[in-house]
Structure 1
């Protein structure tokens, strides 16, 4: 089988690794339009479940990824001059550049050809048995057949910007700052010994009120550094420095497709779907797409069966994630509903932002109900744990009384 992966991001590279491991005779080329070593973004996040799956699929690349990652197991929220810290699930951060480097080196070691600075458009699609569109949310191959795929793109309300910083956060950090034009907030996480990612977001009225819609990148960074000085500890923010000097603010686009395949062309990662960045799942979902597609090709062989099986599996897996992402984005878009709560309550509901009930229940009532449910569950776990012990004690006493 000859395979052409269009796009040298995590999805395309990891798929090439898995397909080569399955069958070294496969002729696989990854086509990337950018130069080798160039990428956008700073660090990406993932969780223990993904690392376990990576180890099961390719232990060598998983080991390199784990060694290059930093981890945390706490979350911190700053609201005005108040702060609260909570224990949470263990999370990991790795630089996007380092992740791509690891996957590219592993792919090459298996015999995959990597062609950089090679842009694929509708006019030069490679001749291959399988063409994988892993070329992101603006996929040229998907756009060529947008009517067939049923592509739908919906823009979110808030503006955001993806930045780096020399401040190394020791926990997943949230900071909410009130300005005369409304609230602005950031979330930050470490991804290396001297770097963190810092995503800044705000509502449209705050964005224009602060003049961020008109500010150069240098002026925008200076303002944001002042607003978030208390969490940056004097460290600077680092932008992407676009050629025209503007700050690359975006509104998140949720992309879906009615179908993910057409003949021998199949969509992978952001070309097929996007989920709001606030749940930190984009890279995880892309890698899981690659696992599912490789598995379908191994199990079915024939594309006419493998591609529908891949799509069916991933659609089912994405349903709860897409729902969580939708409600998470809405939580931030409705921030005034929660921000005046005491910090510990606000942070608790921040952790519950994926809930479909939260938008419809008064926040303080939801918090009380959630705490009550948590206590009930703790009691249930205690009863399950005590049950065998109580039964054994009662049995022992019964035996003693019979003697």
Structure 2
């Protein structure tokens, strides 16, 4: 089979690896519009279950990814001058550039034809065409009526930066300004570097002048606001020529009514996006690739394989998409939680995926959650009540 994969991000590269491992005779080509080594962002996050799945599908690339990753278990929240730390699940960070380098090297070793600096805007001639070209997919955009693409922008603004401050825990920092709160998520992705994502409400963004400040001046202001958590280290922006969301854009949640058209199929961000605050984007993209490769192995006819791929992935995505939606809303409603004692605020930060949390007073939810930790019956009740309350509130929402 001849396969053309448009987009050389994690989803497209990993799919090419899996297809060549399963079927060495396949002719697999990856077309990437950017030069090799050019990428947006700093580090990406993932958790232990993904690493286990990567080992099942391609042990060699999994070993290289694990060796190039750094880990943490603690989460730290800093609200003004108050700090609280909690033990959590094992998380990992890896530089996006390093991840792509590993996947590209593995793909080449298996015989994949990688074509960098090669922009494709129309489906190439192939038995299977994979649109792995991101949320702004040129291939998907050729057929908007067919795919039924919907984009819902969030309310808050964010910017993705890097720093030489190396965090020893996944760090949340909340800073009060004369124009409202501004906050950051910091996590290391190498022994020398960390990602630093800054977010705020629109009024804070404009009140601080970040909407009109030159990029360097905006970074200088953020360095001053977050000087304590950064230990005075500088922030770095991405090169202007590299793609990705524009600085201080609202996050755009993208969905599609269907994921395939004939022999064209959507993969990763071209099919769906989830808010960055749940740290699942790269994991979902790699899992898409696993699912599509398995469907193509089990169903030789391409239309059947694409139908099974979508049937497999849609239900698997629902819990993550729900968690991402509630997580984004938690930050959009930050004033509801920020004045709680730090340990309670951090506990509810960890519960931000709950469909029940927005509909109970925060102190009530905190007590219920603490009690549920000691009672299986209460845990079951909480799991049952959350979706029920959320559905009722949605039905009562004004048109």
Smaller-chain TM-score bracket: over 0.9
Aligned to 2:391: none
In structure 2, relative to structure 1, the CA distance for the partners of 1:126 and 1:231 (3 Å cut) is same
Instruction: Tell me how far 1:302 sits from its aligned partner.
Output: 0.7
In the alignment, which of 170, 174, 180 is matched to residue 168 of structure 2?
170
Report the equivalent of 1:222.
220
Specify the alignment match of 2:177 in structure 1. Answer: 179
Question: 1:113, 1:152 → 2: CA distance?
Answer: 33
Q: CA deviation at 1:141?
A: 0.3
Give me the TM-score of the superposition, normalised by structure 1: 0.92
Query: Deviations for 1:148-173, whole angstroms, at most 9, x for unmatched residues?
Result: 00000010000000000000000000
Give the Cα separation in 1 of the matches to 2:300 and 2:211.
51
Q: Distance in 2 between the 1:272 and 1:242 partners?
A: 26
User: Of the candidates 141, 146, 149, which is equivalent to residue 148 of structure 1?
Assistant: 146
Q: TM-score, normalised by structure 2?
A: 0.93
Query: Does structure 1 conserve the Cα–Cα contact (< 8 Å) formed by 2:372 and 2:378?
Result: no
Q: Once the two structures are superposed, what CA deviation does each residue of 1:341-386 show, in whole Å capped at 9, x if it has no partner? A: 0000000000000000000000001000100010224999xxxxxx
Give the deviation of 1:249 after TM superposition: 1.5
> Which blocks of at least 5 consecutive residues in structure 1 are unaligned?
381-403
Paired residues for 1:254-265 under 5 Å: 254-265=253-264
Residue 4 (structure 2) pairs with residue 21 (structure 1) = no
The answer to whether the 8 A contact 1:242-1:248 is kept is no
Residues 10 and 282 in structure 2, CA contact (< 8 A), matched pair in contact too: yes
After superposition, give the CA deviation of every residue in 1:321-348 in whole Å (9 maximum; x if it has no partner): 0000000000000000000000000000
C-alpha contact 1:5 1:30 (8 A) present in aligned 2: yes
Q: Distance in 2 between matches of 1:41 and 1:377?
A: 41
Among candidates 239, 243, 251, match of residue 237 of structure 2: 239
Question: Deviation of residue 242 (structure 1)?
Answer: 2.4
**Number of the residue aligned with 2:64:** 64
Superposed, which structure 2 residues align to 1:331-370 within 5 Å? 331-370=330-369
- Residues paired across the two proteins, number: 376
Q: Please name the residue that 1:41 is paired with.
A: 41
**Which one has a bigger Cα radius of gyration?**
1
- Provide the residue aligned with 1:90 in structure 2: 90
- The one-character-per-residue Cα deviations of 1:284-338 (angstroms, maximum 9, x if unpaired) are 0000000000000001111121101000110010001000000000000000000
| CA distance in structure 2 between the aligned counterparts of 1:241 and 1:234, rounded to whole angstroms | 22
Specify the SS of the correspondent of 1:192: coil
Please provide the CA RMSD for this pair. Answer: 1.4
Please state whether the residue corresponding to 2:83 is helix, strand or coil.
Answer: strand
How far apart are the structure 1 equivalents of 2:86 and 2:247? 32
Question: What residue is the counterpart of 1:160 in the other structure?
Answer: 158
**Cα distance in structure 1, aligned partners of 2:361 and 2:374:** 20
Structure 1 residue matching 2:189: 3-state secondary structure: strand
* Secondary structure of residue in 2 paired with 1:118: coil
CA distance in 2, matches of 1:6, 1:281: 22
Question: What secondary structure does 1:234 align onto?
Answer: coil
1:309 aligns with 2:308: yes
Query: Structure 1 CA distance, aligned partners of 2:51 and 2:239?
Result: 33
Q: Residues of 1 paired with 2:331 and 2:297: CA distance?
A: 41
1:93-112 counterparts in 2 under 5 A? 93-112=93-112
The corresponding residue for 1:126 is 124
Distance 1:175 1:340 in 2: 14
Q: Deviations over 1:69-90 (max 9, x none)?
A: 0000000000011000000000
Distance 1:232 1:86 in 2: 20
Q: Is the 8 A contact 1:255 1:273 kept in 2?
A: yes
